[in-house]
């Protein structure tokens, strides 16, 4: 590596909403900035807290979406697993990640996969229950339109 050359980013990692402040990130804006940059970094979105029930970053042109299946998607906290979701046009990247997964041995067992699938099947029910808990039934899209914070407690005020 030549120290006189500037380092060019290869990846932008976004967590939306952020933890612990629950600020929503403007994913399309970050993607536009990334596409305009000379290094064309990949945009990765950690969508663990939003889950696919509330947000689909791939539809906002993110390159990779990461989920912790242990948390909200599984809903039962009895499996430790994650997922990386890529759009179809990233075939080469998918093949490289799949190769790394298989060679490193990060393959979930059948029972772990069943547990994660069981939790994913209840995700719509969990989402509806969460909306009722914050007193806002039927407002799945509202936080995204407002561009503000997600409904719920403010963790900053409890510290």
The answer to whether residue 2 sits within a structural domain is: no
Residue 53 pLDDT class (50, 70, 90 cuts) = confident
Asked whether residue 11 carries a pLDDT value surpassing 90, the answer given is yes
Are residues 47 and 14 in contact, defined by beta-carbon separation less than 8 angstroms?
no
The answer to whether residue 21 sits within a structural domain is: yes
The answer to whether residue 114 sits within a structural domain is: yes
Share of the chain above pLDDT 70, in %: 78
Q: What is the mean pLDDT of residues 9-28?
A: 90
Angle at Cα 20 formed by Cα 137 and Cα 146, nearest 5°? Answer: 45
The answer to whether residue 3 sits within a structural domain is: no
pLDDT at 146: 44
Domain count, the chain: 1
Dihedrals phi, psi of 50, to nearest 5 degrees: -80, -40
Asked whether residue 57 carries a pLDDT value surpassing 60, the answer given is yes
pLDDT in tens, 61-109: 999 999 888 877 777 778 888 889 999 999 999 999 999 988 998 888 8
Output the pTM of the full model. Answer: 0.74
The answer to whether residue 46 sits within a structural domain is: yes
27 compared with 75, residue with greater pLDDT: 27
The answer to whether residue 4 sits within a structural domain is: no
pLDDT at 48: 86
Single out the residue of 19, 14, 16, 15 nearest to residue 155, CA to CA: 19
Are residues 46 and 14 in contact, defined by beta-carbon separation less than 8 angstroms?
yes
User: In terms of residue numbers, what domain contains 108?
Assistant: 11-158
Dihedrals phi, psi of 61, to nearest 5 degrees: 75, 20
pLDDT in tens, 104-124: 988 888 998 898 888 888 877
pLDDT at 2: 62
CATH (domain of 35):
3.40.640.10
The answer to whether residue 124 sits within a structural domain is: yes
The answer to whether residue 127 sits within a structural domain is: yes
Distance CA 127, CA 142 (A): 14
Are residues 27 and 11 in contact, defined by beta-carbon separation less than 8 angstroms?
no
């Amino acid at each position: 590596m030549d120290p006189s050359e500037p380092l060019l980013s290869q990846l932008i990692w976004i967590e939306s909403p952020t933890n612990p402040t629950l600020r929503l990130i403007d994913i399309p804006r970050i993607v536009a900035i990334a596409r305009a940059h000379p290094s064309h970094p990949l945009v990765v979105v950690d969508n663990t807290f939003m889950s696919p029930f509330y947000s689909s970053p791939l539809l906002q042109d993110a390159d990779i979406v990461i989920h912790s299946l242990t948390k909200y998607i599984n809903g039962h906290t009895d499996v430790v697993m994650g997922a990386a979701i890529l759009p179809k046009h990233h075939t080469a990247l998918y093949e490289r990640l799949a190769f790394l997964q298989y060679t490193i041995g990060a393959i979930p067992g059948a029972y772990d996969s069943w547990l994660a699938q069981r939790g994913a099947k209840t995700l719509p029910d969990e989402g509806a229950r969460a909306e009722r808990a914050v007193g806002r039934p039927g407002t799945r899209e509202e936080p995204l339109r407002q561009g503000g914070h997600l409904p719920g407690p403010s963790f900053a005020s409890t510290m």
